[in-house]
Amino acid sequence: MAGEPFPVHLADMVLPFRCVDAGIVPGAAAAAEFERAWPSYRRWFLHEGEESRPSYADSRAALARYMPELLDDYDALVEAVGGGDLESRFLSQWCPPALVSACSLAMLPGPRPVMLRNYDYPPALSDTLALRTHWSGRAVLGMSDCGWGLMDGINDQGLTVSLAFGGRRVAGQGFGIGLVMRYLLQTCGTTDEAIARLAAVPVHMAYNIAILDAWGDARIAQVAPDRPLALTGGLCAGNRQGETTWPDHAAYCNTVAREDVLAMLVADPLLTPEQLADAFLVP
């Protein structure tokens, strides 16, 4: 069931954020949301030329190899949107075009485990959709990305994940991170399970992933197409993976200053979730 849109005011821009329940299998509701966003995503998906994107056969084979638990939902979603070749390749999220953003992550793993994330990119690039699904027997709620991927979310086991760009120029053979986020939420219940799954799936760009479960186990994982998963031992992340390797991007998004502020905040044993949320609202 779709909820009524509510406006989010951003300077002189008003965006209608919506909440949609896509049911127990991918079907009409998910297809309607895909149709709404497809013209924009199609332009992005093809901007390097159609020949730059993998074939349907290769895309589905990659999904079957690395995330087989999603295959039934993928096939159902492809059928729901009409079964087109281009749409099917896009929805696999295998080797999509590169996309650079920013974002910040922070967690408090105390008696009330809390994760916060902001969105450091133009609001017009957001799907503006909170998508609830009950696919494959697992309830998941998150911010939609690329049709059925997620930028962040939580499942019915209390596992929460979110992402930030890792600030490295590397790109390679792997999945768009949004679909990997869905994979974690649909197949895992604990942080340890999520880390094990994440380490086994290739991603096409560098990302920092915050993972927090209902027991308060909080980890920041760094993933990239050119090296194995690494755990930082911290509770926050900006847009670097260790030292600065892309100075222009680091300066543009001010990641070093953001990381310093977040590290100071999460190190305070008296910090409340409300205070952390307030800090995220300070320009």
Q: 162 with 75, same domain?
A: no
The rounded distance, in Å, linking the Cα atoms of 261 and 246 is: 20
CA distance 82 to 129: 21
Q: What is the pLDDT of residue 220?
A: 99
Establish if 258 belongs to a structural domain. yes
Structure tokens of 126? 């957001």
184-202 in b/e form (b: 16+ CB < 10 A) is: bbbbbbbbebbbebbeebb
CA 187 to chain centre: 15
Strands (E), 113-158: 114-117, 129-133, 140-145, 149-155
Predicted confidence band of residue 16 (pLDDT cuts 50, 70, 90) = confident
Whether residues 154 and 34 fall in one domain: no
Mean pLDDT, residues 203-221 taken together: 98
Question: Are residues 111 and 81 located together in one domain of the fold?
Answer: no
- The CATH number that applies at residue 273 is 3.60.60.10
Per-residue pLDDT tens over the stretch 218-277: 999 999 999 999 999 999 999 999 999 999 999 999 999 999 999 999 999 999 999 999
Say whether both 161 and 256 belong to one domain.
yes
User: What total number of domains does the chain contain?
Assistant: 2
Residue 185 and residue 68 share a domain = no
Q: How far is the C-alpha of 282 from the C-alpha of 280, rounded, in Å?
A: 6
Q: Alpha-carbon torsion 97, 102, 107, 113, what sign?
A: negative
Contacts of residue 79, Cβ cutoff 8 Å, sequence gap at least 6: none
**Within a domain: 98:** no
Q: Are residues 198 and 237 in the same domain?
A: yes
Residue 7 confidence (pLDDT) above 80? no
CB count, 10 Å around CB of 17?
Answer: 16
Token pair for residue 123? 């609001």
Specify if 173 maps to a domain: yes
Domain range for 275 is 105-130+149-280
